[in-house]
Amino acid sequence: MTSIYETPVGLPRRAVSIQIDGEEVKVSEGATILDACKAHGTDVPTLCYGDTLDPVNACRVCVVEVEGNRVLVPSCSRKVEPGMVINTDNERTRHSRKLVLELLGSSVDLSAAPHVAGWNDQYQADPTRFGESKTVKQPVKVDNDLYVRDYSRCILCYKCVDACGEQWQNSFAISVAGRGFNAHISTEFDVGLPDSACVYCGNCVEVCPTGALMFKTEHDMRVADTWDESVQQQTTTICPYCGVGCSLTLHTQDNTIVKVTSPHESAVGSGNLCIKGRFGFQHVQTLKHN
Amino acid sequence: MDLRFPKEEPTLAEVQALDAVLGESHVVEGWQRERGGAHLAADQRPHLLAALHALQDRVGWVSPGGLGELCRRLDVPPAEAYGVASFYAMFSMEERPARVVHVCADLACQVLGAGALLDAVQAECGNPSQTGVPGAWQPSPCLGLCERGPAILVTEAGDPAHEAVIAPAIATDVAIALRVGPKGLGAEAPVVAAVPQAATPQGAADLVLLKRVGVVDPSSLDDYRAHGGYEALRAAFAMGPTGVIREVTDSNLVGRGGAAFPAGRKWAAVAAQPVRTHYLVCNADESEPGTFKDRVIIEGDPFSLIEAMTICAFATGCEHGFVYLRGEYPRALEHLQHAIDAARDRGYLGTNVMGLGFAFDISIVRGAGAYICGEETAIFNSIEGYRGEPRSKPPFPVEVGLFGKPTVVNNVETLVNVLPIVLNGGPAYAAIGTTGSSGTKVFCVSGAVANAGVYELPFGATLRELIDLAGGVPNGRSLKAVLLGGAAGSFVRADEIDFPLTLEGARAHNTTLGSGVVMVLDDTVDLPTFLRRIAAFFRDESCGQCVPCRVGTVRQEEALIRITLGPRSAAQHEADLTILRDVGRAMRDASICGLGQTAWSAIESAIDRLGALR
């Protein structure tokens, strides 16, 4: 995009020499292995990584081998150190990635998660191999008009919790509750969102990687089988509500707004909006019908 | 923070319970919240675990009204407090009877007939979930009473709350406990009963770390001093912090919690950190099935732990120490709390320890039923009032630990080793045991042996010698296998027990000493059931943070159930064995912490060494 999306130039950083898959690479000190891989053009899959959030390294699909380490390390959070020798694509890393995809795919509905089908092919992952097994399948939670929560699709990446909490919104409406396979995203005592601290900023929807959190409009259209991304248009504009000037990306299908996102590169809000920018688009369509 | 609290009101009992633990005064007002901001909230947060215990102990569950009141007082978002409370097995988020009987269903008790006990309890008292007033019962993970299983723990909410254990227990005990509660139960066996060596003069002479258990009155500071107590601290003050660290380094003492990291290196690293404050965390959350040594040390000789922690704090510049004690140890909690209070009263803790101007104090943090909180970084989150999920390393605790400060984390047994090191010098300590493993080691011997209990031996004795010392396999039965290191350890066969119980000896035999669990299985053991229990344990105790462990432990248990219980074709059997190996390898390679990384070890060794599941 244009220059307003660029982050300011920081202090100069020392360059660190590392080795990625046998090739010498120089990256800035403080960069993560994932940053280094991206800069080097090495493809590493990620699921729980969020470009606007601190990495939680929970999904483990991005693991790489760092020589001298007993176990694999998460590339999204591990910072580079001088002389690191990194293998991103050997039998060992492929095995763990394949298993993570299989374990997740066998317990969670990943059909709305981008890239996963391709990775399953790439790593020859077969999520059906476990046969009849425990899943997180459950009814969709529809308790308001703005967004729905389909925790059958939830991989517990913690991104919604972090976006709702101290990293962005400071509403603290949700948290991870329970333990082990029963861990789940929840309000206190699982009360509905209208009874919780939720302010409907939708910043959790913005960061959800699997469609577990979804605009009610999108959910209804998917249920009615009218959702079709191939005919949708995306138009980035400025939110008209207040003087902050957040960037909005309007997703339109058949000339109707069906979803609103915000560019993560935007220096104004880093992808975050408030309820007005995120969900306050109905008046536009109402006008049209008048 | 502008928080929104639940609309439910707390009951009077809940308010009183919170008053007792937090003080009556304050609900944080809105303006304070804005002005005090994050600092105020951060100061309050570490009270969360104790406050949840207060609610659970008083009314038997954590109600929406009680949780809301707690959140108002501590300025904690209700969703987060709910997330923390629901993490721990000891907190009930649903209303249930005040009286609950926890029946151990874990490994050591299983060898001693827990399966039959559970069946009998079910027949006599009904299903766990269906039992109503006046009590409910539920199967429980290891209660740490492995030397005298099968064990039960009875808890009764009220003012004050009561807890008691019965071991060994029969179904009638459970029925009585359900009817009359912990108050009606008989006295617990004396602590020294868990130290069979103390019964003979010959055995007692070999004890170093356990020498005072059963000899000293655990409630008397004077008696502790009369038995050599606080001589080591005096010596430590004389040699100075650097001198203490030098002796500990020279002693080659390594951590006894399972990871075997050199204690001297850890201490030196923390001492060298310019950042203040430094913290000391004593890990007494021993929840590894079959481990009960820390319980015996704390119950029988609590002042020794306090003295050892004071020495460690002096050497590493720690201003405050926390003992993270597992929640299922009522007697250890009582003895340790009493000992800390007595030491403080007498100037052995506080702002001026022994009049030498050194300031150090200790608080107990009571765990709430989560094996994972024994992980060295999960323990920080738990103390700080967050979910007990492990943090990623690096950074390591010596740099960024509790409250983000440099922290020493050591197991109880590791710390008490410091007393003989300081008294006799590091080189003298290093001369005990073998070159690779110095000092004495406390082993938790349980299962099919004549005299189960904790045994202290210099490193170097063989596994066979230890089993013989414990009286061997009783009743004319024969040894089938030994589970070393607990659920996270591995099996060795009956014909493999002649290797020395040292770090290097275990490594050479492709096994691990772990936390010192030696669980003996005789030829009557139902190995498939035993293995399913190991799998169930990890499935229950996984924190759920990372995918390999959260889902992997479930898939592992499912495959194990299919293999051991289902009628299967040879091809299906092979496919499930492949699943076990594939999932196990991914858990070992890609899990965040040691729990996931070892969740497959015991089952793998059962397949490869014992020939199980063929």
Q: What is the pLDDT of residue B567?
A: 78
Q: Output the pLDDT for position B183.
A: 79
Pairing status of strand A175-177 against strand A184-186: antiparallel
Does A181 contact B544 at a Cβ distance shorter than 8 Å? yes
A151 and A280 in a single domain? The answer is yes
Q: Given CB atoms, is B82 within the 8 Å cutoff of chain A? A: yes
Do B64 and B19 reside in the same domain of the chain? yes
pLDDT of residue A284: 83
pLDDT score, position B128: 82
Residue B279 is inside which H or E element, if any? Answer: strand B278-284
Phi, psi of B468 (to 5 degrees): -65, -40
Distance CA B552, CA B587 (A): 7
Give yes or no: residues B271 and B301 share one domain: yes
Nearest-angstrom CA–CA distance, B129 and A70 = 43
| pLDDT of B37 higher than 50 | no
- B545–A182: do the CB atoms touch at under 8 Å? no
> Are B227 and B360 within one domain?
yes
**Residue B387, CA distances (Å) to A156, B247, B595 in order:** 14, 37, 16
In a domain, B34, yes or no: yes
Q: Which residues of B touch A175 (CB under 8 A)?
A: 77, 79-80, 82-83
pLDDT tens, B96-108?
899 999 999 999 9
- Among chain A residues, the shortest Cα distance to B552 is held by A103
The mean-pLDDT minimum among B16-30, B251-265, B340-354, B383-397 falls in B16-30
Per-residue confidence (pLDDT) for residue B34, from 0 to 100: 46
B505-537 pLDDT per residue, tens? 999 999 999 999 999 999 999 999 999 999 999
Q: Best interface-test mutation with B: which of A79, A84, A103, A190 has the largest number of B CBs within 10 A?
A: A103
- A179 CB neighbours in chain B (<8 A) are 86-87, 89, 370, 541-544
How far is residue B596's CA from residue B585's CA, in Å, rounded to a whole number?
10
Rounded-to-integer distance, Cα B254 and Cα B246, Å: 14
Q: Are residues B314 and B424 in the same domain?
A: yes
In a domain, B534, yes or no: yes
Quick one: how far is CA A157 from the chain centroid? 8
Domain CATH code at residue B559: 1.20.1440
- Cα(B525)–Cα(B507) distance, rounded to whole angstroms? 26
Whether B170 and B229 map to the same domain: the answer is: no
A117 and A169: one domain? Answer: no
List the beta bridge partners of residue B360: B350
Q: Check A180 against B540: CB less than 8 A apart.
A: yes
Bridge partners of B27?
none
Give the C-alpha separation, B597 to B500, whole Å.
Answer: 25
Give the structural domain span for B262: 221-429
pLDDT of residue B35: 44
Q: How far is CA B363 from the centre of its chain?
A: 17
pLDDT beneath 50: ranges in chain A: 1-3, 290
Residue A77 and residue A189 in one domain: no
Residues A109 and A190 in one domain: no
Most B-contacting residue of A99, A100, A110 (CB-CB within 10 A), to test interface:
A99
Determine, yes or no, domain membership for B482.
Answer: yes
Q: Does B574 touch chain A (CB under 8 A)?
A: no
Sign of CA dihedral A96, A97, A102, A104: positive
Alpha helix segments (H runs only) across B445-546? 463-469, 503-508, 527-541
3-state secondary structure of B101: strand
B64, B83, B546 ranked by CB distance to A175: nearest: B83
Task: Say whether residue B577 is in contact with chain A using an 8 A CB cutoff.
Answer: no
Of A60, A195, A197, which is closest to B590 when you measure between CB atoms? Answer: A60
B330 Cβ neighbours under 8 A, 6+ residues apart: B153, B163, B164, B165
Return the closest-CA partner of residue A143 out of A187, A95, A184, A204. A187
| Residue B43 contacts A, CB cutoff 8 Å | no
Q: Please tell me whether residues A185 and A233 are part of one structural domain.
A: yes
**ipTM score here?**
0.95
CATH number at residue B507: 3.10.20.600
Provide the β-strand partners of residue A214: A148
Domain contains A63 = yes
The two tokens of residue A54 are 């601190």
In-domain check, residue A141: no
* Residue in A closest to B393 by C-alpha: A78
B30: confidence class by pLDDT, cuts 50, 70, 90? very low
Residue given tokens 């001298």 in the structure block:
A68
Find out whether A251 and A259 touch, Cβ atoms under 8 Å.
Answer: yes
User: Which DSSP category does B333 fall into?
Assistant: H
The reply to whether B1 touches chain A by the CB within 8 Å rule is yes
Q: Which residue of A has its CA nearest to B585?
A: A96
Q: Which residue of B has its CA nearest to A70?
A: B589
CB B218 within 8 A of CB B300: yes
Question: Looking at beta carbons, which residues of chain A come within 8 Å of B77?
Answer: 165, 172-173, 175, 197
Q: Which of A107, A132, A157 is the last residue of a domain?
A: A132
Q: Tell me chain A's radius of gyration from C-alpha atoms.
A: 21
Encode burial over B118-156: b for 16+ CB neighbours within 10 A, e otherwise.
bebbbeebeebeebeeebbbebbbbbbbbbbbbbbbbbb
Distance from CA of A1 to the nearest CA of B (A): 35
What are the DSSP calls for A159-193, one per residue? HHHHHHTTTTT-----EEES-GGG-EEE-GGG--G
Number of domains in chain A: 2
The whole-angstrom separation of Cα B219 and Cα B129 is 39
CB contact under 8 A, A172 and B80: yes
Q: Which of B440, B517, B417, B445 is nearest to B194 (CA)?
A: B445
Chain A residues touching residue B551 (CB < 8 angstroms) = 103-104, 106-107, 181
If you average pLDDT over every residue of chain B, what do you get? 93
DSSP B213: T
Burial, B606: exposed, middle or buried (Cβ in 10 Å; 0-12, 13-18, 19+)?
A: buried
CATH number at residue A230: 2.20.25.90
Q: Please tell me whether residues A212 and A179 are part of one structural domain.
A: yes
Share of chain B above pLDDT 70, in %: 96
Residue B301's closest CA among B357, B344, B339, B248? B339
Tokens 């046998």 map to which residue? A22
Residues B535 and B505 in one domain: no
Which of residues A132, A156, A176 is at a domain's end? A132
- Are B332 and B392 part of one and the same domain? yes
Helix (H) or strand (E) holding B577: helix B570-590
Q: Based on the domain organization, do B420 and B441 belong to the same domain? A: no
Does residue A214 lie in a domain region?
A: yes
Of the candidates A72, A134, A177, the beta carbon closest to that of B86 is on: A177
Residue that finishes a domain, picked among B389, B408, B429: B429
Query: What pLDDT score was predicted for residue B131?
Result: 58
Comparing alpha-carbon positions, the chain A residue that sits nearest to B94 is A189
Tokens 């008009």 appear where?
A: A145
Nearest CA in chain B to A154: B547
Residue B320 domain flag: yes
φ, ψ of residue B28 in degrees (nearest 5): -75, 120
Beta strands across the sheet bearing A85-87: A23-28, A15-20, A85-87, A63-66, A73-74
How far, in Å, CA of B17 to CA of B542, rounded? Answer: 31
* Structural domain includes residue B91: no
Instruction: Give me the pLDDT at residue B181, please.
Output: 86
> Which of A176, A188, A195 is the closest to B67 by Cβ?
A188
Among B483, B511, B447, which residue's Cα sits nearest to residue B612? B483
Strand, coil or helix: B36:
helix
Residue of chain B with shortest Cα separation from A98:
B586
Between the alpha carbon of residue B380 and those of residues A186, A206, A239, B415, the distances in Å are: 23, 31, 43, 18
Q: Which of B3, B7, B550 to mutate to test the interface with A (most CBs of A within 10 A)?
A: B550
Residues B354-373: what's their mean pLDDT? 96
Q: How close does chain A come to B59, measured CA to CA in Å?
A: 17
Looking at residue B374, which CATH number applies to its domain? Answer: 3.40.50.11540
Report the pLDDT value the prediction gives residue A5, as an integer from 0 to 100: 56
Same domain, A20 and A63: yes
Q: Report the number of distinct structural domains present in chain B.
A: 5
CB contact under 8 A, B586 and A177: no
Question: Considering the domain boundaries, does residue A93 fall inside one?
Answer: yes
Cβ separation A188–B591 shorter than 8 A: no
Residues of B with Cβ-Cβ distance to A78 under 8 angstroms: 392
Q: Is residue B384 part of a domain?
A: yes
Could you give the 3-state DSSP secondary structure of residue B530?
A: helix
Is there a single domain that holds both residue A283 and residue A156? Answer: yes
Residues B132, B19 share a domain? no
Say yes or no for a CB contact (<8 Å) between B64 and A189.
yes
Q: How far, in Å, are A203, A265, B592 from residue A245 at the CA level?
A: 16, 14, 41
For residue B157, what is the domain's CATH number?
3.40.30.10
Q: Are residues A128 and A162 in the same domain?
A: no
Average confidence score pLDDT of chain A: 94
Contact criterion met (CB below 8 Å) for B72 and B109:
no
How many degrees, rounded to 5, is the angle at CA B151 between CA B517 and CA B215? 65
Residue among A72, A106, A178 minimizing CB distance to B589: A72
Q: Are residues B79 and A188, on separate chains, in Cβ contact within 8 Å? A: yes
Which long-range CB contacts under 8 A does B171-174 form with residues at least 24 apart? B171/B117, B171/B120, B171/B121, B171/B123, B171/B124, B171/B125, B172/B124, B174/B101, B174/B103, B174/B117, B174/B121, B174/B124, B174/B125, B174/B137
Q: How far is CA B373 from CA A105, A174, B293, B590, in A?
A: 29, 23, 18, 20
Chain B residues closer than 8 Å to A196 by CB: 4, 79
Structural domain boundaries enclosing A208: 147-289
CA distance A178 to chain B (A): 5
In a domain, A137, yes or no: no
What local confidence, expressed as pLDDT, does residue B248 receive? Answer: 98
Contact A172 B1 (CB under 8 A): yes
Binned at pLDDT 50, 70 and 90, residue B182 comes out as confident
Q: Between B570-590 and A91-107, two packed helices, what is the crossing angle to 10 degrees? A: 110
A183 and A128 fall within a common domain? no
One domain for residues B147 and B172:
yes
Cβ separation A95–B585 shorter than 8 A: yes
| CB contact B354 to A (< 8 Å) | no
Considering only CB atoms, B589 lies closest to which of A92, A129, A188, namely A92
* Residue B57, pLDDT score: 97
Query: How far is C-alpha B611 from the chain's CA centre?
Result: 31
Same domain, A117 and A171: no
Cα B66–B71–B73 angle (5° rounding)? 100
Both tokens assigned to B270? 């923390």
pLDDT-derived band at B353 (thresholds 50, 70, 90) equals very high
Give the count of Cβ contacts less than 8 A between chain A and B: 165
Domain final residue, candidates B384, B401, B429: B429
Shared-domain flag, residues B314 and B458: no
Beta-carbon separation of A156 and B86 below 8 A: no
Largest CA distance in chain A: 68
Same domain for A52 and A174: no
Which residue from A57, A130, A183 is facing B558, i.e. has the nearest CB?
A130
Whether B413 and B510 share a structural domain? no
Spell out a b/e string for B390-404, using b for 16 or more CB atoms within 10 Å of the CB, else e.
bbbeeebbbbbbbee
A72 chain-B contacts, CB cut-off 8 A: 589-590
Question: What is the rounded distance in angstroms from the CA atom of residue A266 to the CA atom of residue A248?
Answer: 10
Give the span between the Cα atoms of B358 and B321, in whole angstroms.
14
Residue B390 domain-assigned (yes or no): yes
The pLDDT of residue B28 is above 60: no
Nearest to A103 among B3, B81, B547 (CB): B547
- Six-digit token string for B173: 């005990």
- Residue A184, in any domain of the structure: yes
Residues B543-559, mean pLDDT to the nearest whole number: 98
Q: What's residue B602's pLDDT?
A: 97
Q: Which of A132, A166, A192 is the last residue of a domain?
A: A132
Q: Do A95 and B586 touch (CB under 8 A)?
A: yes
**Residue whose tokens read 């059931």:** B529
How confident is residue B44, by pLDDT bands cut at 50, 70 and 90?
confident
Tell me the shortest Cα–Cα distance from B467 to chain A, in angstroms: 33
CATH number of domain containing A53: 3.10.20.740
Query: B407 touching A, CB under 8 A?
Result: no
Query: Which of B429, B449, B466 is the C-terminal boundary of a domain?
Result: B429
Helix (H) or strand (E) run with residue B358 in it: strand B358-366
